[in-house]
Amino acid sequence: MCIIAIAWQLFDELPLVLLSKRDELLERPR
């Protein structure tokens, strides 16, 4: 599973915040 979060112009000092998480611990269903 892959999760991506984007915060665009949420904070003045950080114009773009990009967070991503990729889980490869579990096998993908076939």
pLDDT in tens, 1-30: 678 888 888 778 888 888 888 877 766 666
Query: Distance from first CA to last CA of the chain, Å, rounded?
Result: 14
pLDDT at 28: 63
pLDDT at 25: 72
Task: Answer whether 0.95 is exceeded by the pTM.
Answer: no
pLDDT at 29: 67
pLDDT at 4: 84
pLDDT at 15: 85
Q: Find, among 10, 3, 29, 6, the residue nearest to 18 by Cα.
A: 6
CA angle 16/14/9 to nearest 5° reads 55
pLDDT at 1: 64
Q: Which residue type does 19 have?
A: L
